[in-house]
Amino acid sequence: MSGMSQSVSGAQTAGRPSLSKEAANFSWLLDNFTRETAGVRETVAVSADGLLMAMSAVSDRANAERLAAVVSGMTSLAGGVAHAYALGVLNRVIIDMAEGYLLLTAISAGSVLGVIADRSANLGSVAYEMTRFATSAGGSLSPTLIAELKDAVQR
């Protein structure tokens, strides 16, 4: 993905309401990840409390909310296993289905990136780009930014 290091400076992003520079950049990174990573169909960011925090521009609100609920549940299940077997913190969850994949990766501050990819996706490449996203976007996730993103996605 060539444009991951670029960012947006403006307040309006893809028809979204006015956002701070940090929130606009997070949304841009999410959209860019979805658009530029081969095989990725839809992406959401879910906060530590399990709520939709951001969604890719290709997502409709109902699907994004449904995916956020699935991501939250899977994150909880993976966390329970990690705790019960002393396996440490969540890095990544991959669910392999007949027609595609659900991939989860930790971003930061308890937030998780959830990705739907089709069978054409190269899992190694998708996982690599997810890690790049988490590294690029995760450092900026403060409680204030998370609250702003959650508020903006509800509008």
The predicted-structure confidence for 108-151, as pLDDT tens digits, reads as follows: 989 999 999 999 999 999 999 999 999 999 998 999 999 999 99
Domains of the chain and CATH, by start: 21-154 (3.30.450.30)
What token pair was written down for 118?
């089709």
pTM of the model: 0.87
Helix axis angle, 21-36 to 123-138, nearest 10°: 170
The predicted pLDDT at position 8 comes to 47
**Contact of 73 with 46, CB cutoff 8 Å:** no
The predicted-structure confidence for 53-111, as pLDDT tens digits, reads as follows: 999 988 799 999 999 999 999 999 999 999 999 999 989 999 999 999 999 999 998 99
CB atoms within 10 A of CB 119: 11
Going across the sheet that includes 112-118, the strands are 52-55, 40-46, 112-118, 100-106, 92-97
Query: What Rg, from alpha-carbon coordinates, does the chain have?
Result: 15
Q: Which of 146, 136, 129, 111 is nearest to 8 (CA)?
A: 136
Mean pLDDT of all residues in the chain?
90
**Contact of 120 with 101, CB cutoff 8 Å:** no
Residue whose tokens read 């705790």? 83
Please report, for residues 28, 31, 140, the alpha-carbon distance to residue 41 in angstroms, rounded to integers and kept in the order given.
16, 11, 25
